[in-house]
Structure 1
Amino acid sequence: MTPPLRTERLEFLPYRPQDEDHFVALLRNEEVCRWMGQDLVPEPQIRELFRAILDDVYPQRLFDVWGLWLDGAYVGHAEVKKTGNVDGHELVTALVPGHWGRGLGGEAVRGLLRYAADELGLKEAYGMVGAENTASLSMCRRLGFRELRDVVGDDGSVTKLLIIPTTPSTTPATPPTTDSAPPLPA
């Protein structure tokens, strides 16, 4: 089962049935979908996805997925999962837009990096960020990600494939005071 995690300000908690509306609201937000490089899908599909997390992902231990909480309020979503783009694991974060620009994106990624190293034994992790998502790309560079290559979608969109070592010496110990990064795309 996905374990709870903590960073300085964030609680990473496995989703519970009562979290469904928060999850749906996040993934029905047009800005969030835009920066995650996905289409806005109908609410029933998102509810189905949420139920799959509870009914399949957690019981079968397919990958780790959390709701992000700040002082008891839902602020986003995080995952560590195998990626189909390379042989490795991808870090995924998405924040509620009202919480962008507060350093939470970087803090969430640092928490995922620590978990990937300490609990999964990973030496490196990947991220996928839309080429137009300059705020997330800047945050990733500050954290120590480097670009590997561009991935071009069928529609011509470009996503940057990024890599970062999970070792603590490459991850800044102090969170930046401001971080305007929108979510990393899934």
Structure 2
Amino acid sequence: MNPLLRTDRLLLTPYAPADEEEFVALFQDVRVSRWMGDGPSTEAEDRALFGRIFTRVYAENRFEVWAVRADGELVGHAEIKPTEASGGHEIIYALAPSAWGRGLGTELALALVGHGFTTLGLTEVHATVAAENAASLAVLGRIGFEHVRDIQEDDGSTTRLLTCSRADAPAERSVQAQAQLR
């Protein structure tokens, strides 16, 4: 089961069935979903995805997935999981527009990287980000991720593969501090 993660302003918890409406609302917001996976999905697809978190991800202990809360409100989604694109563990996160511009993305990414380094014992953590997603690229650059290569997608778009190495991360002290907040 997923551990709880805490930062100064965020609490990452496993999803509960009661979170379905807020999860669907987050994933149905095109300002958020345009950057996730293959882009916006139907409401039915997002509900099915939410169900699979319980029936496959949690039930089979596949990887860690969290609801992200600030002041008790669900404001985001986070994961850390092995992926083929990176050949290692990738962080995935999304925040509701109401949470943008307050540094919560940086705080969330640091918590995920810290969890990867400390709890999972990883030496590298990866992220894949649409080349046009300047905000996420900036967040990851601030905490020590470096561009490794570009991936050309079937639809012609470009995804950037970024890596943060534990040994080289300028954010290592911040990562350790975030990990201690759990």
Deviation at 1:109, TM superposition (A): 0.7
1:113 maps to 113
Aligned to 2:76: 76
- The alpha-carbon distance between structure 1 residues 66 and 168, as it changes in their structure 2 partners (threshold 3 A), is farther
Deviation at 1:135?
1.5
Identical positions, percent: 44
Instruction: Give, in whole Å, the separation in 2 of the partners of 1:6 and 1:97.
Output: 21
Paired residue total:
175
How far apart, in 2, do the equivalents of 1:114 and 1:37 lie?
23
Whether contact under 8 Å (1:116, 1:166) holds in the other structure is: no
Distance in 1, Cα, partners of 2:139 & 2:165: 15
Q: Runs of 4 or more off by more than 4 Å in structure 1?
A: 172-175
Does 2:148 align with 1:151? no
TM-score normalised by L of structure 2: 0.91
Indicate the residue corresponding to 1:101 in structure 2. 101
Say whether the 8 Å CA contact 1:114–1:168 is kept in structure 2. no
Query: CA separation in 2, counterparts of 1:96 and 1:12?
Result: 14
Q: Is the 8 A contact 1:15 1:66 kept in 2?
A: yes
Q: Which amino acid aligns with 1:33?
A: S
CA RMSD, aligned part only?
A: 1.7
Q: 1:167 to 1:51 in 2, by over 3 A?
A: farther
Mapping of 1:29-178 within 5 angstroms?
29-36=29-36, 38-166=38-166, 170-171=170-171, 173=173
SS in structure 2 of the partner of residue 163 of structure 1:
strand
Write the distance in 2 (CA, Å) between the matches of 1:72 and 1:25. 16
Distance 2:159 2:38 in 1: 12
CA contact (8 A) 1:128 1:161 kept: yes
Higher relative contact order, structure no. (Cα contacts within 8 Å, ≥ 6 residues apart): 1
Q: Residues 37 and 130 of structure 1 are in contact (CA less than 8 Å); yes or no, is this contact kept in structure 2?
A: no
How much has 1:167 moved relative to structure 2?
A: 5.5
With structure 1 as the length reference, what TM-score do the two structures score? 0.89
SS in 1 for 2:94: strand
* Structure 1 unaligned regions, length at least 5: 176-186
Pair 45,169 (structure 1): closer, same or farther in 2 beyond 3 Å: closer
Mark the runs of 5 or more structure 2 residues left unpaired by the alignment: 176-182
Tell me whether 156-165 or 128-137 shows the greater mean CA deviation. Answer: 128-137
